[in-house]
Structure 1
Amino acid sequence: MAVDMFLLRELVVAIVLFFITRFSIQLLFKKPSRKLPPGPKGWPFLGALTILGAMPHVTLAQMAKKYGPVMYLKMGTCNMVVASTPDAARAFLKTLDLNFSNRPPNAGATHLAYDAQDMVFADYGARWKLLRKLSNLHMLGGKALEDWAQVRAFELGHMLRAMCESSKRAEPVVIPEMLTYAMANMIGQVILSRRVFVTKGSESNEFKDMVVELMTSAGYFNIGDFIPSIAWMDLQGIERGMKRLHKRFDVLLTKMIEEHTASARDRKGKPDFLDVVMANRENSEGERLSLTNIKALLLNLFTAGTDTSSSIIEWALAEMLSNPSILRRAHEEMDQVIGRNRRLEEADISKLPYLQAICKETMRKHPSTPLNLPRVSTEACEVNGYYIPKNTRLSVNIWGIGRDPDVWENPLDFTPERFLSGRNAKIDPRGNDFELIPFGAGRRICAGTRMGITLVEYILGTLVHSFDWKLPNGVDKLDMQESFGLALQKSVPLAALVTPRLSLSAYAS
């Protein structure tokens, strides 16, 4: 019995020593743990999905104050990192640009953008490059914008005359409806050689509603995107709505292309954008655009081209109506440079620094995309000493950067003067100054950046120069609440009374 007890004791000691030794060796040779960025722990299984709320850009900006400029969140089964300062944005969108040049899979790309067959959600590669090249050469680039300057002037003339009619009837002008109608017709003339809405009414308002719904639903944090195993359940009903909306857009786009094809023999003059795309569907790398790719591209151009620019113009007018002294100073500058006997022309903009400052200040405080369109890491990398795993989603909080008191003095105030002198005077919104990146930066910067800036400066300048503005009767203060989506909408659409301030002949052309 004594021998058995001795053997048993020795066996137990040996087993204990074995595990102690093995554990010590593992500790000795174990690779140092890779440190993830700080962030909230969230809930089991759901992670941080439950804490973002209805205004994720605001929540993430508040969380960044606690966790820092590079923040990690577990979103369902996915990793997500958020950049909340100019330096953090530069690290991801410039230093590591190539590693973050793809979009993560999501319901919006699948159900709205023809399964990512468009330019916005396509993988970085040959097809994306072909779509981007065609868009820049024939619609969005500098030379293309010059070529259709007359179209912009023509459609603005239509809009100004319609606003004059409203002023005669003392009717408020609903700004987003008016802008969508004008911009859709501008884009329609460039793409299809025709106005897509002949008269302002139910058809153009329905299109506006469809665009807003697309931008809103595509901006939702959809549970199925972050927990793919339960995506089929569509717990929030987001995907059902996307599928219905996609069918409506597909009918509209198919009709546009069919009518364009049928009218080919009757069209004379310079080929329009769709003509060029159809004739250059294949590149030297053997990449060929399908009809689905072309419809998806038109969807990008019509929706992003109208909604993002119109939202910035609406916010700018709302801020000026809330700050009459800014509107007065803009009028004074324009009267000195242009006078009141003609309309503002695009060539005047370079001589209107205060107007340009108003546009920049609006893009800072009310960026068209509050969270930069998501990207995903192709490989693991390191930022600010933190480990970023492969397949980590990236969001850049453009809204948060624009309202950061460490970046901007009195960021909640609307102060265009901040861009007229000092260190901010040379800041430009085209993606090189990371304090102000309303269109993003890097390879996946918004393809329509140049067009967006041109439209905002020209249309806003024309509206301000052409009219006196005041709130509708009975409205003492504007509701400046936001509505979250891919584009940052004003919760209550802006309506205002306008009075012509130029000579009558200025509105005739």
Structure 2
Amino acid sequence: MTFDAVFLRELGVGVLIFLLSRFFIRSIVRNSVHLPPGPRGWPILGVLPLLGSMPHVTLTNMAKKYGPVMFLKMGTCDTVVASSPDAAQAFLKALDHNFLNRPTIAGATHLGYNGQDLVFANYGPKWKLLRKLANQHMLGGRALNDWAHVRASEVKHMLKAMYECAKEGELVVVGDLLSCAITNMVSQVVISQRIFSNKGLESMEFKEMVVEFMIISGVNIGDFVPCIAWMDFQGVVGKMKRLHKKFDVFLSKIIEEHMKSSHERIGKPDFLDVVMKNLEDPSQERLSFSNIKALLLNLFTAGTDTSTSIIEWALAEMLKNPNILIRAQKELDEVIGRQRVLVESDLPKLPYLEAICKETYRMHPSTPLSVPRMATEACNVNGYYIPKNTRLNVNIWAIGRDPNVWSNPLEFNPERFLRGKSAKVDPTGVHFELIPFGAGRRICAGYRMAIVVIQYILGTLVHSFDWKLPNAQELSMDEAFGLTLQKAVPLSAIISPRLLSDAYV
């Protein structure tokens, strides 16, 4: 045996002994403090081999045995999972200040410009500036009203394309049309132009990039066993780097072309104009080009994918439960009639439509496991000790299906939000039994926009068309796990117009 071979063998044995010793020593230390209950898991890998392809479901089942505050090892990382409204509130309200930062993960490093974005950046001056700019000029209440005409314009484009499909008897692939429309809503606010046609190859390729982004962001074993991350066993990091290059070309082109046309928007700046000013403003925290690209990446991925998936799930549930679709159409007809399309000012008069959206948030949250946070300091929750640097995941999917909170939780029943105490529950992070966008200071920055867009588009689709499945096609309600919860089988349907033909022009 050569010297190199002996050295490598002894090095491997040494590393293994070190890791095992560290595991057992830390186990002894943990036994001396009152940690939350949870499964022990395997040495080094922890519970990772137990999670399967649907971690949110596995963790829900584990919580039934170990309780709503559960401590486990995800690889070598201490992790606590909150699986009830009270547990979520204990972390995201009472201890929100201690869980404002994110752990370092490959998705943030290789896709999010090394954690320079709004989703994964650590809490601090730059994060606050990104959040402030996004709220003031795009996602906040006032900005949302200012851009209402953009949403109306894009919905008209989508309706016209769908009307043509209906006349030709073409099958509508719901996710493709939704992704195109919502991406164009974002792009009109960000760069003052639509970037995709309604039925173009580019928009479908972009949607595939976004879906891949969400799927591979949540499946890297190296995030949980950092000492082996460099090996990239799953090939996920390689995929991330290749996908990042595609997005970087896309975003660089947008910024370059936008800068060339800046003189055309003097006195009427769009969102990117406002953000770019911070490259030169010495009076406050400056943003880098990486910050700006990372922020745009957030808006064009999370900003489109989450709303698309919720609308697609809602339509699927209505096709599965035709009486719900009929009742929704009846409400829309009574409020709007059939001579015109829905406008945003109609939404407050449509409580059943709102209830359908809430019920979809409950059963099909776009983010089943919250984006992980990390404890800045050790703390105590419900009498349990939570060590410093412990990662926090809130199982939003489990909370929405908790039988202690919801009656018949596996039944899609919008009426639950029309009566009793559930009628007052809203999804804005105030009521912890329904937190599809998270809660606390790191609640999803775009939650206001998402709520409006989802209700507006879903209402428009239900009001404007009758929906049915193609002959012999079964409706799959299977999930595909990732950072967001996609339908495993995209929804396709046959549609027919319900309104006067002039309404679609």
Q: Which range, TM-score by smaller chain?
A: over 0.9
Match in the other structure for 2:500: 503
CA positional deviation for 1:33: 2.9
CA positional deviation for 1:391: 0.1
Match in the other structure for 2:368: 370
Match in the other structure for 2:19: none
CA deviation string 1:77-97 (max 9, x = no partner): 210000000000000000000
1:404 & 1:177 partners in 2: Cα distance? 32
CA positional deviation for 1:31: 13
Match in the other structure for 1:209: 208
CA deviation string 1:338-366 (max 9, x = no partner): 11111101011000000000000000000
Match in the other structure for 1:22: none
1:127 aligns with 2:144: no
Secondary structure of the residue aligned to 1:443 is helix
Match in the other structure for 2:477: 480
Structure 1 consecutive aligned stretches of length 4 or more whose deviation exceeds 6 Å: 282-285
1:162 aligns with 2:132: no
The answer on whether the counterparts of 1:321 and 1:327 sit within 8 Å (CA) in structure 2 is: yes
> For 1:347-386, what aligned pairs fall within 5 Å after superposition?
347-386=345-384
Moved more, 239-248 or 267-276: 267-276
The answer on whether the counterparts of 2:429 and 2:435 sit within 8 Å (CA) in structure 1 is: yes
1:223 & 1:242 partners in 2: Cα distance? 14
2:443 & 2:463 partners in 1: Cα distance? 31
CA positional deviation for 1:76: 2.0
2:175 & 2:368 partners in 1: Cα distance? 19
CA deviation string 1:368-403 (max 9, x = no partner): 100011000000001111100000000000001101
Aligned residue identity for 2:500: S
Match in the other structure for 2:488: 491
Match in the other structure for 2:432: 434
CA positional deviation for 1:299: 0.1
Match in the other structure for 2:313: 315
1:207 & 1:200 partners in 2: Cα distance? 12
TM-score (norm 1): 0.92
Structure 1, unaligned runs of 5 or more: 1-29
Identity of aligned residues (%): 68
Secondary structure of the residue aligned to 1:433 is coil
Report the structure number with the largest CA radius of gyration. Answer: 1
The answer on whether the counterparts of 1:91 and 1:383 sit within 8 Å (CA) in structure 2 is: yes
Relative to structure 1, is the Cα distance of residues 412 and 51 closer, same or farther in structure 2, using a 3 angstrom cutoff?
same
Relative to structure 1, is the Cα distance of residues 282 and 382 closer, same or farther in structure 2, using a 3 angstrom cutoff?
farther
Relative to structure 1, is the Cα distance of residues 133 and 282 closer, same or farther in structure 2, using a 3 angstrom cutoff?
farther
1:461 aligns with 2:456: no
1:449 & 1:256 partners in 2: Cα distance? 25
Provide the alpha-carbon RMSD of the alignment. 1.5
Relative to structure 1, is the Cα distance of residues 498 and 264 closer, same or farther in structure 2, using a 3 angstrom cutoff?
same
Match in the other structure for 1:446: 444
1:462 & 1:31 partners in 2: Cα distance? 54
Given candidates 326, 329, 335, the residue that maps to 1:328 is 326
> For 1:269-418, what aligned pairs fall within 5 Å after superposition?
270-281=268-279, 286-418=284-416
Match in the other structure for 2:109: 110
Match in the other structure for 1:100: 99
CA positional deviation for 1:286: 3.9
Match in the other structure for 1:142: 141
Aligned residue identity for 1:323: N
2:231 & 2:57 partners in 1: Cα distance? 28
Secondary structure of the residue aligned to 1:159 is helix
The answer on whether the counterparts of 1:41 and 1:73 sit within 8 Å (CA) in structure 2 is: yes
Aligned residue identity for 1:55: M
The answer on whether the counterparts of 2:161 and 2:198 sit within 8 Å (CA) in structure 1 is: no
CA positional deviation for 1:204: 0.4
Match in the other structure for 2:172: 173
1:464 & 1:281 partners in 2: Cα distance? 44
Relative to structure 1, is the Cα distance of residues 312 and 378 closer, same or farther in structure 2, using a 3 angstrom cutoff?
same
Aligned residue identity for 1:338: I
1:61 & 1:328 partners in 2: Cα distance? 33
Aligned residue identity for 2:128: K
Match in the other structure for 2:418: 420
CA positional deviation for 1:313: 0.1
Relative to structure 1, is the Cα distance of residues 408 and 282 closer, same or farther in structure 2, using a 3 angstrom cutoff?
farther
Relative to structure 1, is the Cα distance of residues 268 and 386 closer, same or farther in structure 2, using a 3 angstrom cutoff?
same
CA positional deviation for 1:473: 2.2
2:286 & 2:265 partners in 1: Cα distance? 26
The answer on whether the counterparts of 2:157 and 2:198 sit within 8 Å (CA) in structure 1 is: no
For these two proteins, the number of residue pairs brought into alignment is 477
The answer on whether the counterparts of 1:130 and 1:283 sit within 8 Å (CA) in structure 2 is: no
CA positional deviation for 1:506: 1.2
The answer on whether the counterparts of 1:181 and 1:204 sit within 8 Å (CA) in structure 2 is: yes
2:30 & 2:254 partners in 1: Cα distance? 59
The answer on whether the counterparts of 1:126 and 1:285 sit within 8 Å (CA) in structure 2 is: no
CA positional deviation for 1:60: 0.1
Aligned residue identity for 1:53: G
2:211 & 2:331 partners in 1: Cα distance? 34
CA deviation string 1:280-307 (max 9, x = no partner): 3477884210111100000000101110
2:477 & 2:389 partners in 1: Cα distance? 37
